[in-house]
Structure 1
Amino acid sequence: MSYGPALMTLSLIALIFTIPPLAWNIKCSNIPAISLISWLFLMNLNTFISAAIWLGKNYSSTYSGRGYCDIISKLQVGVNVGICSCVGAIALDLYLILNAKSSLLLNTKKRRIIEACMCWITPIVIMAIIYVVQDARFLVFRYSGCQYSLAPNWVSVLILSIPMVLWSLTSFVLALMTIIKFFQIRKDVKDILHCTNSGLNLTRFARLLLFCFLVVCVMCPLSLYFLVIAMNSIDGGFDFSDIHDSLLWGIILFKDLGSPKYDRWLHITLAYLTFIIFGLGEDSVKLYQRVARRI
């Protein structure tokens, strides 16, 4: 079975689906949502490109990936923790809105700085230091394309696995706190949204909250599962010189796993979920109508 055409089609649809929610959230200046959807756009764009390039049986002779994969493999180590941190920032923002007396909510500049820091500091730090545990420049898989490769040691777990677990658990707690608070004051939520000038009505708020909860319900178990896998895979201690062998670094390894990696399907699914929740609302429909009239 060739997964290439299916992966290309689904990822292309996912790309198209991310555009309306991205446009709507840019209009609303929602930094966490913009950041999250941007991650999904980049990863689905990579999925489409990779499936198109490394498709056939002779995939290993098409393109070595040098240059392109150097960039993509760095983005890949930041994407999942980036998704979790963005969801955490969205959930925190919703929680602060429900706590209408919060001074942070009133200070738009400070709130946006905190949101940007929550969304981007951890992924950027991970992408900056991941070289420490890279045991190969990158790998190239059939269908999936570029993939980072890390040495199986405790430093890899500390740099990549632990932050993802911490952010997914933080996001889960924040989303749960927001849901509890929402039901505690559900009769007053509509008035609070109006008084705080949040730019949200009850429907928009509920969509954002549902989105947060669904994403953390996916990312939390995944992050814990892969932490366990990473812990069980630890083989020996950390030795920088052994990991970074100059003779082996330039060798690009090609692998055919028989099917695309799980995260390609994950990012496609999250893009569809994003469109269903953000792209089918009343505001999005009005946006489509305005665009259609201009065309």
Structure 2
Amino acid sequence: MDESTFALTPAAIAVPVLALINLIIDTPALIWHIKNRNLAASALVFWILISNLMIFVNAVIWPTDDTASWWLGYGLCDIETKLQVGLWFGVVGALACIMRNLAKVLDTERTVLSLTRAQRRRQIVVDCLLCFGSPIYAMAIHYVVQASRYYIFAISGCTPSFDRSWVKLVLVLIWPLILCIVDVYYSILVIIRMHRYRKNFSDVLTSSNSNQTKSRFLRLFWLSLILIVVAFPAQVYVLYENSVVALIPYSWDSAHGPDWLTIELVPSGGTVLFDRWIQIGAGFVLFIFFGLGQDAQAMYRKWLIKAGFGKCFPCLHSQRRVKEQRWSATDSGSRFFNKKSFRDSGLL
């Protein structure tokens, strides 16, 4: 066949380039949130980075429809497909944790100076279950409804397989939507409390002992809200598309029959699965809110100075000194207390 038939399409070029850009610009956000022990935000950035890493790798390995020359993805796709099943659980679970923590900051009726050890432990357990426990569950239970080894789509790459039974809806596909509903509930709760305290919003944040500035709070809120607004209809669509097909009774022998190890190779005609675009878009939205704030800029400046750029650009040192002087104007004991309380709240 003519080589022009398998020429690179615009999507085959754009997808890996955009995913690689996300990997570069979003990695500092992961480092910053891990350093500040922000479990929920770290998990959100982690899952978005993992998704973009898989998108980049897959688009590079399978860029055209030339299935005859394709590598069958042994090992790589076995891992990737499990991560993809757990991916949406992790994202919407992390969003639920973030919104829940923001709602607690604005809960003036239950404001505490510092969480007890039991309260901190309980909060960490809840965050871990939502951010990582639910994805692990999804990865494990997927085997029950895995109809074949996996699919490989051109550009989109490794894609998990599901059988056509109703069991897949109950065990896997409905749960990200349920978590999205939890996200929506906490989002509405935060919006109500923001409206209630709109006149003294900054005072409420100060009295919460969370060390949460108005700017940081709003960036967390708007980032999470935008992702929820996208994730909710996406999960509704996925559940709908898998519900309208003719569902069959579940059978373990049928789902794990002789053809279970089959690897389906699917030409795409230059198109990309819709969820890949969502994951790429999420990476850029994340950078806008996490990568352009004052905290991120201070971290970039610190890295540039350590790399020796401070000698070429003395202004990097002067900007750093200005920030340190602002911090020194605040009582050190108060800073320590507030930072501890901020970590207790789950937002740092």
Q: Residue 93 of structure 1 corresponds to which residue in structure 2?
A: 101
Q: 1:114 aligns with which of 96, 120, 126?
A: 126
Q: 1:68 aligns with which of 76, 94, 107?
A: 76
Quick one: distance in 1 between partners of 2:191 and 2:230? Answer: 17
Quick one: distance in 2 between partners of 1:71 and 1:130? Answer: 12
Q: Residue 250 of structure 1 corresponds to which residue in structure 2?
A: 261
Equivalenced residue count is 294
Q: Residue 49 of structure 1 corresponds to which residue in structure 2?
A: 57
Letter in 2 for 1:91: M
Q: Does 1:33 align with 2:33?
A: no
Letter in 1 for 2:254: D
Letter in 1 for 2:260: W
Q: Does 1:185 align with 2:197?
A: yes
SS state at 2:149 partner = coil
Q: Which runs of 5+ in 1 are unaligned?
A: none
Indicate if the aligned counterparts of 1:53 and 1:59 stay in contact, CA closer than 8 A: no
Residue identity (%)? 30
Indicate if the aligned counterparts of 1:96 and 1:105 stay in contact, CA closer than 8 A: no
Alignment of 1:1-295 (within 5 A): 1-100=9-108, 101-102=110-111, 106=115, 107-245=119-257, 247-258=258-269, 259-295=271-307
Q: Which runs of 5+ in 2 are unaligned?
A: 1-8, 308-348
- TM-score for both structures, normalised by structure 2: 0.81
Indicate if the aligned counterparts of 1:134 and 1:151 stay in contact, CA closer than 8 A: yes
Indicate if the aligned counterparts of 1:60 and 1:254 stay in contact, CA closer than 8 A: no
Alpha-carbon RMSD: 1.7
Cα offsets for 1:216-268 (capped at 9, x unmatched):
111111111221111112421101101111x3122211001221111111111
- CA distance 1:2–1:210, change in 2 (3 Å): closer
Quick one: distance in 2 between partners of 1:109 and 1:192? Answer: 25
Q: Residue 339 of structure 2 corresponds to which residue in structure 1?
A: none
Moved more, 5-14 or 111-120: 111-120
- CA distance 1:210–1:15, change in 2 (3 Å): same
- TM-score for both structures, normalised by structure 1: 0.94
Letter in 2 for 1:224: V
4+ residue segments displaced more than 6 Å: none
Letter in 1 for 2:248: G
Higher Rg of the two aligned structures? 2
Shift of 1:187: 3.2
